[in-house]
Amino acid sequence: MHSVCVTGAGGFVASWVVKELLAKGYIVHGTVRDPDDEKKNGHLKKLEHANERLHLFKADMLDYAGLCIAIDGCTGVIHVATPVPAGKVTNPQPEMLEPAITGTRNVMNACLKSKVNKVLVVSSMTAIFVNPSWPKDRPMDENCWSDAEFCKKNEKWYCASKVISEREALEFGKKNNLNVVTICPAMVFGPMLQSTICTTNTILLNLFKGKNSFNLGELDKPEEDIPIPIVDVRDCAKALLLAYEKPEAEGSPCGLNEELNYTCEKIMKLGWSHRSLEETLVDSVKNMKEAGLLS
């Protein structure tokens, strides 16, 4: 029975990845900051098969030794976690950029040390679309990268952290003969497994309440109305498992909407399909009502 380590296991996307892995018979090693924090991680212990096959390890992305312990004995790793500072960011380079890059480096080195067979790195659409020089009529695919220097110059720190981390991970894989695949999801909405509301669903909840709290500061032209590609968290988790399990998955599959000039051709060829936005919104409303977030 194969073991897979999921970093940041208690998070919105990662929780669904853990659920999918357990349902498919994997042993799951999940890294969390505090395995005894029931508010943040108790939902993981309630998942089906968690008692038999889920093991939580205390480690964050800046804890190389802890990551080595969590990854040891695993066949593969799905790296979902991104260090996010609590509260308002006052010094973005050391608070956002450097921890994300260092965290990915630590995961890669721990994977190499443990001789895992495959590493799936969860990047973001923001690693793709902040590229002022990309031809407007050419679909954005794995050949399109956000301009890291442009991002830093314009204080798009999340974009910068994602594009630098993803590129480094792929280069690390090539240099060390480590099978590294990256995937770039769109904005993730959908029902939550955890009890605390995540960042993206906070945006959705506010929209339901008539308040627009989209933070468009990371986009090229935040003053304009622009389409935002969206993916359901359940479809995102399935895309990650496809990219992890399929031997033909390589490079950087994009999990975005081709109608917005992003292509998701590579992940579609692996057998991925997605539900409608209406289903995502309906299920999100039901989930928020059950959680007492909507009256």
Is residue 208 a part of any domain in this protein? no
Active site residue 118: no
Across the chain, which has 295 residues, the per-10-residue mean pLDDT values are 94 97 98 94 96 96 96 97 67 83 96 97 90 84 88 89 94 96 92 89 84 58 63 95 88 55 76 91 92 83
Q: Is residue 22 part of a domain?
A: yes
Helix (H) or strand (E) holding 208: helix 199-208
Q: What is the pLDDT of residue 223?
A: 47
Tell me how far apart the alpha carbons of residues 244 and 235 are, in angstroms, rounded to a whole number: 14
Q: Looking at residue 249, what is its pLDDT?
A: 79
Is residue 285 included in any domain, yes or no?
no
Instruction: Spot the catalytic one: 19, 118, 162, 238.
Output: 162
Closest by CA to 39, choosing from 200, 201, 194, is 194
For the chain, the domain total comes to 1
- The verdict on residue 286 lying in a domain is no
Domain holding 68, by residue range, is 3-196+229-276
The CATH number of whichever domain residue 76 belongs to comes to 3.40.50.720
* pLDDT for the residue 213: 67
Indicate the helix (H) or strand (E) that contains 31.
strand 27-32
Distance CA 113, CA 71 (A): 9
Count of CA atoms in the C-beta half-sphere (13 A) of 214: 18
φ/ψ of residue 255, rounded to 5: -105, 65
Q: Give counts: helices (H), strands (E), the chain.
A: 13, 9
Answer yes or no: is 139 within a domain: yes
Residue 148 inside a domain? The answer is yes
Give a yes or no: residue 160 inside a domain.
yes
pLDDT in the model for residue 89 = 65
pTM, to two decimals: 0.91
Domain assignment present for residue 261? The answer is: yes
